[in-house]
Each structure stands twice: as C-alpha cells, then as structure tokens.
Structure 1
Amino acid sequence: MIDQRPARHIVVLAHPSPDSFNANVARTYCDTVRSCGQDAIVRDLYTLGFDPVLKDEERPRAEGITLSPDVEAELEMIRGADMYTLIYPIWFAMPPAILKGYIDRVFGAGVTAREIQERTGQGVLNGRHMLSIVSSGTREVWLDEQGQIESLRGLTSHYLLHAFGMKSCEHLHLGGVVEGFSRRFVDQALYDVHERARDVCAMLATERNAAAVSPPVADGS
C-alpha cells in the first residue's frame, strides 16, 4: 500500500540557546520543508531536558533490554520518519554530549554490536535518510587540516549509515560561525540551508513517486 501522508522530517536540535545560529538553522530548515508540502517535527533536546546518560538496562544483551519510559516515548514520536536531520555545533572537535546521548539511547535502542557489524539492525533509522547540519567557529579548511572534517563525516555519515542500515547520510558544514558575524554571512548560510532542504524534499518526493508507480511484487504462493 502506498503511503499517502506527506514525507516526514524529524529535526533533532542540539544547542542550549533558543536564539542561537543553530536554532535559526532549524527554523529555516523546517520552514522550507513545510513550504514544500512536507512535515517537520523538531526535537529540541535542551528544551526537552533530554537525559543523555545510557542506563545499564538499556544496553542490548542476550536476555533482552528494558527501555526507559522517556526513550519509549521518544521512539513513538519519531518512528516512521522519512528523514532525520541533526543540527548541532562542533564543540572541542565533537558533537554536544546531549546529542551523543540521543544517538546512544534513542537511535541505538535495541541495536546490538553484532547487528552493527552484520548491518542487520532494525532500529528506528533502518531504511531511512539522514542529514547532519553542523556549525563551527572555524572554517572547513582549518578543520580539514586538523583531520576533524573527515572524523565528523566518518561518525555522522559513514559509520551511522552502515551501522543503522540507512539509505543515505549526508553532511552540510557551516563554518566561521563566531560572535560579530555579519548579516550577510548569516543570510548566505541560511540560504545554503534552504537550498539543501529543498534538495532533500525533492529527493523524498521523487522516492515517493517512484514507489507509487512501481509495479506490485508478484505473490509467489
């Protein structure tokens, strides 16, 4: 059966300030998605007061796991989205701890190390798309010289792509985000976000259309 609902984007924002550059990025992304006729739901981790600490009983093991109520509620909220978009700053060469905790507790819920190695995990990201929009105070050239760009792409693109069996995982870096930046700089950065969001929406629309015209699989019984 063809899904008639609009494509759905879960936007995970990891920045403590509601007036931050990252918050503006999230608003621009969501406004663009909605203007394209698709749905965007924001999960602002700091506003939610998300607990990033993985509990012992949540770790996958042979006898099973027991998910905490907050994780079960979050999975219910985000399950079935077409696109998962992470928006966060680089702090000391790494994503904020609250985002890492979200990956540990929510995206990784129930996925075992063996399933990661064999790419057989059936977590919430399986068969879905991801886009990481990352900001930093330094330019990409400098980060590249330190090996940070490749490291971040390795984490948020290559590793998560294969570990969780996603269809695609892309990366947009917005560098030079420092105090006193110009309005022109902000406008250009937000335009880049707008254009990437339009591209993502077009890709999802094309995917939906292709599924709608594909012939049904014959029943071999």
Structure 2
Amino acid sequence: MSDQSTAHPRHVVVLAHPDPNSFNASVVRTYCETVRSCGQEAIVRDLYAIGFDPALKADERPHAQAIALSPDVQAELAAIAEADIYTLVYPIWFAMPPAMLTGYIDRVLGAGITVNEIQDRAGESVLSGRHMLSITSSGTREVWLDEQGQVESLRNLIGKYLLHAFGMKSCEHLHLGGVVEGLDKGFVDQSLYEVHERARKVCAMLAAERHAASASLSVSDRS
C-alpha cells in the first residue's frame, strides 16, 4: 500500500478500449469523478491512448533465467507505483478480455515474478498487498454470460488467480451487460450510477483502511 503519510488513497484506473468515446471510457470518467469528489487520487492509464505495447518480450517471461524489464515497462511501473487499488475497465470480446489488457498484466502487473514465486506466493509485484476492482462490459446480458460460465471464468482468471498468485488484499468484479450501439439514456445513466456507487464504496473502504493504519502507527509511536 502507498505510504501512510500520503494524504489521499490512490486509485490507478486502467482502461483497455480503443474508442475514447466508448461506454467504457464513460465508466472511467464516472469512476474517477467519484473518486476525486471523495478527496482521493485517480490516475488513468488509457492503454490505447498511450500506445502501450502488449507483446511480451522473450526476456520478460516468468520463467526466463534472467528477467529483464524493458524501458517502457519500467516507465509504466513508475507511473502506477504506490496505488492502493487497481481498477481495470474493459469490454469482454469473444469471451475474453482484450489482448491489450492481458498483455498489460503479462508485462506490467506481473513484471519480474517467476513461476516458482507465483506457486509459492512469494513474489513481490505492484499488486502485492493491494486491492483490485474489475469493471467489465458486454453486448450480451449477464444472465446469458452466466449460463455460458463466462462470468465465473473471468472472476477466476482476473480475480481469484491474481488475488492468490500475487498476494492481493481483495479482488472484486462489477459487470455491466447489454452494452450495444444506440443505448437508451436511462440504461446508461443507471449503469453509470452503479459505477458511481461502487466507486463510493471503494473510497469508503480505502479511507477506513487508511484511518486504521494511521491509528495503529500512532499507538506504536506512543509505545
């Protein structure tokens, strides 16, 4: 977690959608506006806008004998350092996250972690000791995705696996289904309200966590 002397909890929001006018981009704007209205910090990493390269390099592989992080990965790690929570916003395409996002996980969020460290939960990455929230969208309704086992699959892949492999504190998921062209304004407003409420809940959790940590430090200082 970020330094407890830091004034505000920090949210790193990762957007993986190529259209800056997409529903997903609106989700990011709503989330960040809510976070900032709660007095917390929001840092957006729009992967398509920054031209992130999702292709894993040979010497970045988890089983490489000598893992060497490329300059772009080192720069990205510096940009997202000291987050309290990583919020991933992305659509579900062909039952999977966009390749841009999986490449970001491969190259950045899991950077420098070996296979043995993952199995033993002994590695240290930017995710270690942090929280994660995934906000996903799909053209189909969530009930249909559930019938295909898709929602549970995503929760296992982006949720449970990362939670345990990287020693994260928590990993939650909000899915917004039925996102198609020509959306009704009422549907959009309701969906963004759900995002707003989830962001408020996350902010309250981080504020309480920060307060508890500060109180603990104060007690330690007096002892």
TM-score for both structures, normalised by structure 1? 0.96
RMSD of equivalent CA atoms: 1.5
State the Cα deviation string for residues 4-28 of structure 1 (Å, max 9, x = none): 3210000000000000000000000
SS at match of 1:125: coil
Shift of 1:144: 0.5
**For each residue in 1:20-48, what CA deviation from the matched residue of structure 2 results, as whole angstroms up to 9, or x when unmatched?**
00000000000000000000010000001
Distance 2:159 2:4 in 1: 29
Higher mean alpha-carbon deviation, 152-161 vs 55-64, is at: 55-64
Rounded Cα–Cα distance in structure 1 between residues aligned with 2:134 and 2:121: 21
Asked whether the 8 Å contact 2:18–2:48 carries over to 1, the reply is yes
* Counterpart position of 1:178: 180
Which of 197, 201, 213 is the aligned partner of 1:195?
Answer: 197
Aligned with residue 96 of structure 2, among 72, 76, 94:
94
Rounded to whole Å, the distance in 1 between the matches of 2:32 and 2:42 is: 6
Letter in 1 for 2:118: I
SS at match of 1:27: helix
1:34: which partner in 2?
Answer: 36
**Quick one: distance in 1 between partners of 2:214 and 2:186?**
42
Aligned residue for 1:65? Answer: 67
Aligned-partner Cα distance in 1 for 2:64–2:94: 36
Matched residue type, 1:165: G
Q: Which runs of 5+ in 2 are unaligned?
A: none
Distance in 2, Cα, partners of 1:76 & 1:17: 26
Q: How many residues align?
A: 219
TM value normalised by structure 2 = 0.95
Report the CA distance shift for 1:46/1:2 in structure 2 as closer, same or farther (over 3 A): closer
Deviations 1:76-95 (A, max 9, x none): 11111001000000000000
Q: Which residue of 2 aligns with 1:79?
A: 81
Partner SS for 1:208: helix
Could you tell me how far apart the structure 1 residues matched to 2:7 and 2:188 are?
Answer: 33
Find out whether 1:6 has 2:8 as its counterpart.
yes
Q: 1:103 maps to which residue?
A: 105
Distance in 2 (CA, whole Å) between partners of 1:140 and 1:178 is 13
Percent identical:
71
Q: CA–CA distance in 1 between the matches of 2:33 and 2:89? A: 15
